[in-house]
Structure 1
Amino acid sequence: MPRPGQVKSSGVERFSDRIALGVLTRAFPPELIDEVVAECGRVEQRNRLLPARVVMYFVLAMCLFFGQGYEEVARLLVQGLEREGRWVKAWRVPTTGAIGRARLRLGPEPLRVLFDRVCRPVAVPRTPGAWYGRWRLVAVDGTVFDVPDTAANAEFFGRPGSSRGQGRSAYPQVRVAALAECGTHAVFAAEAGPLSVHETALARRIFPALTGDMLVLADRGFCGLDLWRAAKAGGADLLWRVRSVIVLPVLAALEDGSYLSQIVATRDKHRRADPEQVRVIEYTLGPGGADGDVYRLITTILDPADAPAGELAALYAQRWEIENTLDEIKNHQGSPGIVLRSQHPRGVEQEIFAFLLVHHALRDLMHHAAIHAGHDPDRISFTRTLRIVRRHVTGQAALSPLPPDPHTQTESA
């Protein structure tokens, strides 16, 4: 059996061979980048050292090679082309200031549009671990990123309170809510905002991405009748954990140990005039009794014949896959204790979506490799994949920073 990061231990094709095609242009072809740039009105009126297409790829590369300086990322992108003589004219590496100005001209909108165009669930019916019956397993969660301590970032995003009671935190923070496919870790919807905006408010903005073939998992932070109804509005089924203080009257006991109940808005908890019917599953993890952790799940799947209580209780553990997904983005694609590099709020938003786009490209590549080899995508190491991709992108950069010379050669895609 091949080790994580490989498709075959021997034979024609290895996982590293697939990655060597160039993950950035594989996932985001130049033609698509150009369409997005034009749609967002970022087409240049004059020749620039950093045209919009190159800046788009640079921002993506910046989130693939996190921790490298601006000028070093630019060198990494073009050094392979320089060796191979892929364009005629000399191209000097832009200064940090020039790259910063180019990022401001580009703004976050093209990255958002590209995310909406490309980032979708990637599991197919034969993807192991991605489905429960007819349902595609997805999860919703939120996280925060530290951002540079500039006046603009502090004013727009705000700071958390210090956990040690010593005033405000050292860094402002941006809050992000995301939907991810549990079986592949592919993030297919996301929203970012100031720290003062609760993750449930951000989640409400991404719930339109949910479809009728999905089963959505969420933890106790996602509660409330309005949020529940917003999540299931597109036909998705839900399996959410709720707090023990929520009143869930037993309306009908079911043969699998679950029971039918109702949830109501907090403001209506006494009259219960506008209830929503749910099925409740209660179970204990740990040694049992008072020492065990009691879990209470509510679901839109009301018939035990469609999903027995024991199976749903076991299935809820899949919610942790989105925790692992966010850890991949922040601590592996980024670095432990990550602080984003953008000095302005629009740059922060641009950087967040670039991180998500690169992560989706990596996870989509891993999924294709796993399916090709007949493996579960979880068997492929994200960290090893990231290392291989970084190694090959520098040697096989797939764009020219200057327009091609029509009298000599065509631009490489």
Structure 2
Amino acid sequence: MSVQQELLDLGDLFNFSDLSTFTQNIPVEWVASALGLSSQATIRRRRLPADQVLWLVLGMALFRDEPVHEVARRLNICAQGLASDHLLARSGVTEARKRLGSDPVEWLFRKTGSQWGGERYNGDTWQDLQVFAVDGALLRTPDNQELRDHFGSGNTGTDRQTPFPMLRLVALMNVRSHLLLDAQLSPYRRSEMRLADEFLQQIPDHSVTLFDKGFWSANLLLSLSGAGINRHWLIPERKGVVSEEVARYGKHDRLLRMKVSQQARKQNPNLPRHWEVRAVSYEVQGKLKTVMTSLPVETYSAKMIAKLYQERWEIELGFRDIKSSMQQNAVTLRSKKIDLIYQEVWGLLLAYNVIRREASLAAVAFGRTPSDIRFKPACQYIAVQLIVMAAANPISATGRRLSELRAGVGGLFLDHRPRPSRPRTVKISKTRFPVNRKAAPLK
């Protein structure tokens, strides 16, 4: 049976064009709680009520190539009976976003992360441990004095700063489902490590978290493993770290003891004077790489740990999905006010989680894993779904529309067939002049 036919047979199990698909993901109660955080709540009947503006922010993330007022028009976002184009001014959309603010969108994102990030799916664990990753990324904002004063930017070789202000994003991701459990946003100058400290409590027990080498910190790593049950970590070796070998488990598997710096103990007096970590080395393209971990040698072999750390790149793929697939390679955010910048990015992360959750549910329905779903087609598919829902007439051609939408999911699965091996060759560039194939060889 084809994948398309299986989709058609799902029936009520996975109704893609029904609004309940989204209300199941983001319940009405969550939206009401989020809107209660708006600093400018009003009982006035407006053309763009707060709950509609919340969905507008979500739509902005899915339609990056469209102006904001066009997104509102396409999604039919306005009060009932006020959908005429001449009643929806561009300035009205901006003012509605200002009234909403960033707090409700941030709250909704965090709610989705805490509810969905730790969900279990088929094949989403490693040796009965959930796998998470922490990393950071930079987002560029428009260049005006207000944004530059708030966000700041990097220095160059001269006295000038980089051309655009930068916003820093640090995220905690479920590596197997690619869902974001939590994230922190800040101006450029704030440290990634300090931002990561703020969501360590979100990491579930019975898990292993993969870090980039920039997060090397005795305080961070010991706090992670000591604050829960069976919580482990994995991080590349930091150059210049002074250590002594305590035990050797194999040729490339050792137990090291290191001194905790006075600075770290001053920051957290509960830290010990020394700490022990396991160092596992492995070869990549002829070079020896070393990762440090809290995973015990009795249960996890060096080969297993070396293979596991390769999954840290999954969070890099998640950032690529956000910047490339959702932002359509637009390197600069579209908002021009500080609070609207935060609102836009929280909306981007919220939309990303909605797409990943939809993809995970689709994968489970077919007995596949969430990582088998291609993100870009899923993003485009859900964007179309939003437009269909906005313009849908419940009594007109519903069955045909459902069939078409369900059949489209068949293109979302990755093809894991091995690619044929071909030797690399240099292709001759095209030319409008005839080629003399009998020419003498060069000497």
How high is the TM-score relative to the length of structure 2? Answer: 0.79
The alpha-carbon deviation at position 343 of structure 1 amounts to 1.0
- Give 1:12's match in structure 2, choosing from 9, 12, 22: 9
Query: Contact 1:154–1:172 at 8 Å: present in 2 too?
Result: yes
Query: Contact 2:121–2:369 at 8 Å: present in 1 too?
Result: no
The alpha-carbon deviation at position 91 of structure 1 amounts to 4.6
- Alignment-mate amino acid for residue 284 of structure 1: E
Aligned residues: 381
Equivalent residue number for residue 341 of structure 2: 348
1:185 aligns with 2:178: yes
- CA distance in 2 between counterparts of 1:393 and 1:38 reads 25
- CA distance in 2 between counterparts of 1:282 and 1:340 reads 41
The alpha-carbon deviation at position 174 of structure 1 amounts to 0.1
Q: In terms of mean alpha carbon deviation, does 342-351 or 169-178 score higher?
A: 342-351
- Give 1:103's match in structure 2, choosing from 97, 100, 114: 97
- Give 1:137's match in structure 2, choosing from 123, 131, 136: 131
Equivalent residue number for residue 402 of structure 1: none
- Give 1:51's match in structure 2, choosing from 49, 52, 65: 49
Query: Contact 1:139–1:182 at 8 Å: present in 2 too?
Result: yes
Q: In terms of mean alpha carbon deviation, does 131-140 or 111-120 score higher?
A: 111-120
Equivalent residue number for residue 403 of structure 1: none
Gaps of 5+ in 1: 400-413
The alpha-carbon deviation at position 324 of structure 1 amounts to 0.2
Counterparts in 2 of 1:335 and 1:166: CA distance versus 1, 3 Å: farther
Equivalent residue number for residue 322 of structure 1: 315
Q: In terms of mean alpha carbon deviation, does 367-376 or 232-241 score higher?
A: 232-241
1:172 aligns with 2:165: yes
Instruction: Give the SS at the match of 2:314.
Output: helix
Equivalent residue number for residue 141 of structure 2: 147
Equivalent residue number for residue 74 of structure 1: 72
Counterparts in 2 of 1:10 and 1:267: CA distance versus 1, 3 Å: closer
Equivalent residue number for residue 403 of structure 2: none
Counterparts in 2 of 1:53 and 1:298: CA distance versus 1, 3 Å: same
- Give 1:396's match in structure 2, choosing from 379, 389, 411: 389
- Alignment-mate amino acid for residue 72 of structure 2: A
1:36 aligns with 2:18: no
- Give 2:25's match in structure 1, choosing from 24, 27, 30: 27
Equivalent residue number for residue 338 of structure 1: 331
Instruction: Give the SS at the match of 1:310.
Output: helix
Counterparts in 2 of 1:7 and 1:36: CA distance versus 1, 3 Å: farther
Aligned alpha-carbon RMSD (Å): 2.9
Instruction: Give the SS at the match of 1:306.
Output: coil
Aligned residue runs from structure 1 range 206-245, under 5 A: 206-235=199-228, 236-245=231-240
- Give 2:107's match in structure 1, choosing from 82, 88, 113: 113
Gaps of 5+ in 2: 265-270, 393-443
- Identical aligned pairs, as a percentage? 23
Counterparts in 2 of 1:27 and 1:256: CA distance versus 1, 3 Å: farther
Aligned residue runs from structure 1 range 287-306, under 5 A: 287=286, 292=287, 294-301=288-295, 303-306=296-299
- CA distance in 2 between counterparts of 1:340 and 1:15 reads 38
The alpha-carbon deviation at position 199 of structure 1 amounts to 1.1
Counterparts in 2 of 1:397 and 1:26: CA distance versus 1, 3 Å: farther
1:280 aligns with 2:275: no
